[in-house]
Amino acid sequence: MKIIVYGAHDDEIPYMTQWQATTGHTLEIHQELLDDTTIDWAAGFDGINVLQTTPYSQTMFAKMAALGIRFLTIRNVGTDNIDLAAAQAHGIRIANVPAYSPNAIAEFAVTATLHLLRRLGEVEAKLAASDYQAATAFLGRELAQQTVGVVGAGRIGRAAIKLFHGFGAKVLAYDPHPVQDDSLACEYVELDELFAQADVIDLHIPGIAANDHIIGAAELAKMKPNALLINTARGNLIDTQALLHALEHQQLGGAGIDTYERESANLLTLKETGRFEDPTWDRLRAMPNVVLTPHIAYLTETAVQNMVEFSLNYLIEFLTVGATETEVHPR
């Protein structure tokens, strides 16, 4: 089969090359994203494989259908940036990789939590100013003494619950559709109770429209003033202006943000200008009680190898037997 790959990251390319050599299929690898203009490159290919968080447009799906290409697999989990109904209307079938390594993201959420609990950003800021005395004055908190509230007990949320429990924390969870899992050591509570009780609030829910700004000023006001908010899920879940206000007015203890609200726009600006043109990002970056990372919670060897190999295998299943178990359907 001939497959065109878009959005290839440097660290994915060796796994792509290896998959090609092992399977005998042909890959044409592009680092550019899939959009209305780059879709034309797919003429003559059997299927498309992509990694991106920017939207897939209606026009792109129409052009894809006109090229006679029906199957697209994405190398990531989140499908929030895809208009699945538009894809379906054009006869395009899509599969994601729902579990390339839930632990990768869950471990990152724990990493951000520990960093904030031990106040390492504040320590580093003092060391950067050569104030060694002040750097020794930040009393930390121990994870084992904290109550962690996990919002969204799906694959990643459940991995996070296990890790936090392993550290000795009391774990609360909220999910309107909890999966039966007797090995999970957590107590399911209503969201308001989770906000009121948790010292750490850890989000693992999809960035679909229904979850847009699920954390705004009203929700932040329900949290403890020293609570930590961790978001490795999607940027649109948090009203960033409300978060900034809460942090600047000591209404929140700190935040770990791997998925930033205007991430896509920012990344596009970065490509064009070589820098993030976003004062809100700069203000968050300057706060020692904020861990801000550029959407890297997934970025481990295991996850990258799996996202490449699984998504290409799903595409081959689509192309050879007409189905794959990870096909996604309109919400």
Residue list 61-80, contact with ligand COI (CB under 6 A): 76-78
- What distance in Å separates the CA atoms of residue 218 and residue 289, rounded to the nearest whole number? 21
119 is catalytic: no
30 is catalytic: no
12 is catalytic: no
Strand order in the sheet with 290-292: 187-188, 170-174, 147-151, 200-203, 228-231, 254-257, 290-292
**In angstroms, what is the minimal distance from the CB of 44 to ligand NAD?**
32
**In angstroms, what is the minimal distance from the CB of 76 to ligand COI?**
3
Kindly name the residue from 119, 234, 261, 309 that is annotated as catalytic: 234
- What distance in Å separates the CA atoms of residue 52 and residue 39, rounded to the nearest whole number? 14
Binding partner selected for residue 153 from ligand COI, ligand NAD, none, CB under the kind-specific 5 to 8 Å limit:
ligand NAD
List the structure tokens of 233. 């899920």
**In angstroms, what is the minimal distance from the CB of 57 to ligand NAD?**
20
Residue list 106-165, contact with ligand NAD (CB under 6 A): 151-157
Sequence-ordered list of residues with C-beta below 8 angstroms from that of 147, at least 6 positions apart, any chain: 169, 170, 171, 172, 197, 198, 199, 200
- What distance in Å separates the CA atoms of residue 226 and residue 138, rounded to the nearest whole number? 14
Nearer to ligand COI (CB atom), residue 52 or residue 289: 52
Closest C-alpha to 210, from 180, 177, 182? 177
Q: What is the dihedral of CA 294, 79, 4, 18, to 10 degrees?
A: 60
List the structure tokens of 95. 């599969």
Nearer to ligand COI (CB atom), residue 77 or residue 112: 77
- What distance in Å separates the CA atoms of residue 99 and residue 81, rounded to the nearest whole number? 18
Nearer to ligand NAD (CB atom), residue 207 or residue 253: 207
260 is a contact residue toward ligand COI (CB under 6 A): no
Name the one range near ligand NAD by CB under 6 A: 131-139, 142-150, 227-235, 241-249.
227-235
- What distance in Å separates the CA atoms of residue 258 and residue 281, rounded to the nearest whole number? 12
53 is a contact residue toward ligand COI (CB under 6 A): yes
175 is a contact residue toward ligand NAD (CB under 6 A): yes
Residue list 24-63, contact with ligand NAD (CB under 6 A): none
Binding residues (CB under 6 A) for ligand COI: these are: 51, 53, 76-78, 298
Give the active site residues. Answer: 234, 263, 295
Binding residues (CB under 6 A) for ligand NAD: these are: 77-78, 98, 102, 105, 151-157, 174-177, 204-207, 211, 214, 232-234, 258-259, 295, 297-298
